Chains A and B, each alone.
Chain A
Amino acid sequence: MNTLALRDRPSRWWQSRVARRFAQHPLALLGLVMITALTVACVVGPWLLPYDILQIDLRARFAPPLTGSHILGTDPLGRDLAARLFVAGRVSLLVGFSAMLLSVVVGTVVGVIAGYRGGWLGAALMRTVDGFLAFPSIFLVLALSAALQPSPLMIVVIIAVTKWMEVARIVEAEVRSLREREFVLAGRMLGLSSVHIMFREILPNAMGPITVAASLTVARAILLEAYISFLGYGIQPPLPSWGNMLNGAQQYLSSAPWMAIIPGAAITIAVTSFNFIGDGLRDALDVKGEHG
């Protein structure tokens, strides 16, 4: 049945037009390289460094970068900043990724149903989407994380709650335009269930925009986590995240500026990478859409 949905799928994905076009996009490749390197560093880094992230050494506090074996210096408890940066990276990237997955799943389901069904259900769903969009999300996120006990899972859910709408909008628009296409009509005539048509026939054809939205959503989720953790409402110590490493760095800005500079740089690199990748995918997949 799936063949109905396929238009020009080649035998190997890396031979596809999309992959070729992506590979010719220098920024996208740069993004891919940077984020891969950063991820590998975060996963492997802590094993290579001679420090435990919780190992406190008050005699070595506020060591500037390149002091002995502390390549990135130490924090107010004398903990190795590099080790903390990598472990924090695991947390931040994982939170960003999970929040993206959750918002893409929710956004897709809502978007597909709203787009395919239309009518009052579609309208109601899309008005709900507008409702969430009308909320300056940072207000909502802060109110939520002030109200709930901030565990990483909760932060993921809170971020997803404010990020799923854009995916829903994109998917709804795409599905609405696909609804009357031949292969869908054919599916209906064959007596396929709506669920089947929605998720097995239409959805695969909307994967392009979803992929682009997903990579941009990771970028935004990482940024949002950084914002709320910076304001003290996000990931809670002792679990480090890039955002909460910056919370309090302001206090030491004059005496230990590296504490502020380094985690911020890591966030910027990660977010830039995902934005580059998203841009490359957009060009490769011929998806129209504004920057954001």
Chain B
Amino acid sequence: MRGFLLHRLFQSAVLLVIVSLIGFATLSLMPGGPMAQYGLDPGMTQDDLARLKQQLGLDRPLWVQYFDWAWRLLQGDWGKSFRDGSAVLSVIGRHIFATLLLMGTSTVIAIALGSWIGIRGATHRHSVFDYLATIGAMIALSIPTFWFGLIGIYFFTLKLGWLPAGNMYTIGDGSVLDYAHHLIMPSVVLSLVHVAIWSRYMRTATLDAISQDFVKTARAKGASERRVLMKHVVGNALLPMIALAGVQLPSILTGALVTETVFTWPGMGRLFLDSLSYSDYPVVMGLLIFSAIIVILGNLIADIVIAFVDPRIRLA
């Protein structure tokens, strides 16, 4: 196990270097750069722009900029935002709560609803429910998240007036209920795809379990259907579920970015888009690295869990 872990950690480090190189190269390709936002300011002269560029260190050769950035990162310094001068980590920290709240809520919805659909589909195999769930899942995987959000806003905000169209809370309120009210639509929208994935997964897992001998034995012994299901199926599927959640991280992060845009949610996705449009390189790079770390960690957890469950994989 230790060797496996070290091996994976080394791999992850190499991955991070690759990610950072791609990110840095991409940003430096951008012909406009951070000075573009001042390009229309009537009072800023070319001298001002050149001075700012030099102050931000953007006049140095690219490789110098990269190594300077990477060296600082290794020492724990993620750099400072071009926009407000605050440390990148604290900028990310200030936006992470909103994203975690959204991702967490929608993951809970996805697992709960997905498990219910999946288990019911498996125990009522070939029923109308099972059939509709299968088709429904495939359609859910095909709906653009942002469009689903727009349709939601159209019906629940504009037509019915039940739910707010955006923001995380009402200024001056900020009670738990207020947060919950704002959270409903974005988290349901974000969970759509994942409900589909979870329901497919739980269906397969349940079918596997049902066909296994010990479940058959338990049933033969006269244990109630529900108890057998809960104990054996869910118990057995728990670790792989954690693994699946880990593997799902990049996709839920992508979904969060788009959902945050539609619902003006003050999270990391919006921070990324804002930072991109202001060419705030340190924050953009910070978010890239940060999200890559999350994704790598997710995969690592998935791998460890799988290796734990199935020792044969350990060597792979």
Binds B, one of A42-50, A71-79, A113-121, A143-151: A143-151
Could you mark each residue 117-159 of chain A with 1 if its beta carbon is under 8 Å from any beta carbon of chain B, else 0? 0000000000110110111111110111011100000000000
Question: With a CB–CB cut-off of 8 A, which chain A residues contact B11?
Answer: 127, 130
Closest CB in chain B relative to A227 CB, distance in Å: 6
- The answer for the CA separation of A267 and B14 in the assembled complex, in Å, is 37
B133 interface hit (Cβ, 8 Å): no
Could you mark each residue 122-148 of chain B with 1 if its beta carbon is under 8 Å from any beta carbon of chain A, else 0? 000000000000010111011111110
CB-based contact A148/B142 at 8 Å: no
Closest CB in chain A relative to B140 CB, distance in Å: 10
A219 interface hit (Cβ, 8 Å): yes
Q: Assuming A134-B295, A249-B150, A260-B151, is B137 touching A143 (CB within 8 A)?
A: no
> Number of B interface residues, CB 8 Å?
51
B233 interface hit (Cβ, 8 Å): no
> Number of A interface residues, CB 8 Å?
45
Within B242-257, the residues touching A (CB, 8 Å) are 250, 253-254, 257
Closest CB in chain B relative to A244 CB, distance in Å: 12
A279 interface hit (Cβ, 8 Å): yes
Contacting residue for A250 out of B26, B262, B272, B288, CB 8 A: B262
CB-based contact B291/A136 at 8 Å: yes
Question: With a CB–CB cut-off of 8 A, which chain A residues contact B150?
Answer: 246, 249-250, 253, 260, 264
Q: Assuming A246-B150, A264-B144, is B292 touching A291 (CB within 8 A)?
A: no
Contacting residue for A268 out of B143, B272, B295, CB 8 A: B143
- The answer for the CA separation of A252 and B252 in the assembled complex, in Å, is 28
Contacting residue for A137 out of B135, B143, B254, CB 8 A: B254
Q: Assuming A231-B261, A268-B144, is B273 touching A253 (CB within 8 A)?
A: no
Question: With a CB–CB cut-off of 8 A, which chain A residues contact B145?
Answer: 227
CB-based contact B144/A131 at 8 Å: no
- The answer for the CA separation of A268 and B145 in the assembled complex, in Å, is 10
CB-based contact B144/A139 at 8 Å: no
CB-based contact A138/B147 at 8 Å: no
Closest CB in chain A relative to B154 CB, distance in Å: 5
A257 interface hit (Cβ, 8 Å): yes
Closest CB in chain B relative to A110 CB, distance in Å: 15
CB-based contact B14/A272 at 8 Å: no
Q: Assuming A134-B299, A253-B150, is B291 touching A139 (CB within 8 A)?
A: yes
- The answer for the CA separation of A97 and B97 in the assembled complex, in Å, is 38
Closest CB in chain A relative to B289 CB, distance in Å: 10
CB-based contact A131/B18 at 8 Å: yes
User: Which 7 pairs of residues, A with B, have the shortest CB-CB distance?
Assistant: A264-B147, A271-B142, A131-B18, A272-B142, A147-B30, A138-B254, A147-B29
**Which residues on A are within 8 Å of B, measured CB to CB?**
27, 127-128, 130-131, 133-140, 142-144, 146-148, 219, 223, 226-227, 230-231, 246, 249-250, 253-254, 257, 260-261, 264, 267-268, 271-272, 274-276, 279, 290-292
**Which residues on B are within 8 Å of A, measured CB to CB?**
11, 14-15, 18-19, 22-23, 26-27, 29-31, 135, 137-139, 141-147, 150-151, 153-154, 158, 196-197, 200-201, 250, 253-254, 257-258, 261-262, 272-273, 276-277, 284, 287-288, 291-292, 295-296, 299
